[in-house]
Chain A
Amino acid sequence: MGTEALKKDFPIFKVKINNHPLIYLDNAATTQKPKKVLQAISNFYSYSNANVHRGVHTLSEEASEMYDEARRKIARFINASHESEVIFTSGATDSLNFVASTWARNNLKPGDVILVTDAEHHSNLVPWQIVAQQTGAELDFVEVGETQEITLNNFKNKISEKVKLAAFFHCSNVLGAMLPVREISKLVKNNGGIVVVDGAQAVPHVPVNVQNLDCDFYAFSGHKMLGPMGTGVLWMKRDLLDKVEPYRYGGGMIDLVEMKHSTWADPPEKFEAGTPNVAGIFGLGAAVDYLTEIGMENIMKHEREVINYAASELSKFERVKILGPKDVNERYGMITFYTEGAHAHDVATVLNSYGVAVRSGHHCTMPLHKKYDIPASLRASFYIYNNKDDVDVLTGALKKAFEILG
């Protein structure tokens, strides 16, 4: 993959940070946007702006068609069995809250168990804490181990008929570890449970086939895969579409409204009350086109090279301690590490002075950082436009940081 040519597609790389070229390694937080995505958003507002599914005038029909086309594209991208399984949300957090507020709150009861891992992003933990409080169900935790195999075994030990809902990441936003979603799903479902997967860190980096994963709900964000902020997807398995209640109520989601009673439109409209983020979704469709053109297999292969190089370069520093799977090939999208004797924020501030953007903090995983007994860590997360040169700038700046911070 020619990353230098790719970078030209992204206007942000013309920006200088402290007089240095931008080395953007915070892709797990959000990715940069290519011109095609920016143009799609701007074109919508410039030439096609109208509300969807409301009017018979030309622009409204055009907007509706563009919106539906984006849904079909995204359905194909994750291999949904039908486009109505793709429900637009404002992001993965919204998607997870959707499931918590609908299926979970309406079906769970005292004695039931909600199973999550000890390494979830707060967005896949806090909603379940609230559901547990509201329904009387119990929240239980699976420890994420060094390998997929260990984690799968840890799941086996926790599975019982009491587990009515299991929610876990596909790819961890700190460890970069992938979970064997298909195998875990089988375990949970064989015991009568429902499976919710947080795919925010997986969809941007690996080919995702939701039918193959065999879960019930799959959540992801648009802005972590070149799309605009405020866009996301909740994929819901087709046989649940009629069983799950609406998440929000209002215009666009109704069939018939009487004074004291209403009926719902068919899915997916049933789940999308109010004016949707049409421009954003159109931008997300353009992002999916962009990724599809490069090919998810190629993206995966390219990231593998960069991550393996970064892991080997970073491990040359004695003071750098890398979190997550020991086998670098089990690590996707990112390398999270802490620096002995230097606080993550201080290191990140020095890196920034060389134009290197990394995340420092607890990355919305406070319990996980408590488990490792570190207040904060640094995360270098990569995407299609990053290359080995970026890694060299990172390690060069890291050397400087250690000199300055002692």
Chain B
Amino acid sequence: MDNEIYKEELMDVYRNPLNKGKLDNPSVSILERNPMCGDEINLQLSIKDGVVSDVKFDGSACAISIISSSLVTEDILGKKVNEIRDYDRQKLLDLVGLNLSTSRVKCATLVLTALQKAIKQYDSGKK
């Protein structure tokens, strides 16, 4: 049986994700959609002195998307923006540690796209 992607430790993350919710006064806020399935994630970052001081995500999404959002937000919290600039697909998939089928990779990378856009928005706001 191939239900590896719903293994128990990850289902715990799904049921009790970290950093789920909204920030009162975020530095950047990105709403990212997956047009293939209708999933939506709102990623918000508070950035102080170039450091991610707080981060939240919210929205309607599947388990894969929620799990990866929880893991990514946990990973970037407290890091310098410069340290997370090179966040890419491979880094995300390594972090999530799942062997995802092609159609489900998009679910995992929804939060990554949001993060990349958030950094871009932060950079352009600084100039």
Contact = CB atoms under 8 A, between A and B. Distances in A.
B6 A405 contact: yes
Nearest to B6: A404
Given A345-B62, A345-B64, A361 B37 contact: yes
A376 B101 CA distance: 19
Interface string A338-378: 00000111100110011000001110001001000001100
B2 A353 contact: yes
B47 interface: no
A375 B11 contact: no
B63 interface: yes
Contacts of B2: 18, 353
Contacts of B36: 361
Interface string A184-205: 0000000000000000000000
A260 B104 CA distance: 53
Interface residues of B, number: 21
Interface string B25-46: 0000000000011111000000
A406 interface: yes
Nearest to B35: A366
Given A343-B63, A346-B62, A350-B6, A405 B37 contact: no
Given A360-B37, A361-B36, A362-B37, A345 B3 contact: no
B1 A353 contact: yes
Contacts of A344: 37, 62
Interface in A369-406: 369, 375-376, 404-406
Interface string B4-28: 0110000100110000000000000
Interface residues of A, number: 19
Contacts of A345: 37, 39, 62, 64, 104, 107
Given A343-B61, A345-B64, A345-B107, A350 B3 contact: yes
B68 to A, nearest CB: 13
B64 A353 contact: no
Contacts of A405: 6, 11, 14, 63
B22 to A, nearest CB: 18
B63 A18 contact: no
Interface string B64-78: 100000000000000
B104 A375 contact: no
A360 B104 CA distance: 12
Nearest to B40: A375
B60 interface: yes
Contacts of A376: 37-39, 62
B111 to A, nearest CB: 15
Most chain A CB atoms below 10 A, which of B36, B37, B40, B61: B37
Contact of B37 (A350, A354, A375): A375
Nearest to A18: B2
A315 to B, nearest CB: 24
B60 A346 contact: no
A346 B61 CA distance: 10
Contact of B38 (A349, A353, A362, A406): A362
A369 B38 contact: yes
Contact of A346 (B6, B38, B40): B6
A353 B101 CA distance: 12
B60 A404 contact: no
Nearest to B33: A375
A354 B15 CA distance: 23
B1 A375 contact: no
B61 A404 contact: no
Contacts of A366: 38
A366 to B, nearest CB: 7
Nearest to A404: B6
A53 B11 CA distance: 61
Contact of A349 (B5, B39, B60): B5
Given A350-B6, A362-B37, A375-B39, A18 B1 contact: yes
3 cross-chain pairs, A with B, having the tightest CB-CB distances, nearest first: A343-B62, A375-B38, A345-B62
10 contacts: A343-B61, A349-B101, A350-B6, A361-B36, A375-B60, A375-B61, A376-B38, A376-B62, A405-B63, A406-B15
Interface of B: 1-3, 5-6, 11, 14-15, 36-40, 60-64, 101, 104, 107
Given A375-B60, A376-B62, 8 more contacts: A345-B62, A346-B64, A350-B3, A362-B37, A366-B38, A375-B38, A376-B38, A405-B14
Interface of A: 18, 343-346, 349-350, 353-354, 360-362, 366, 369, 375-376, 404-406
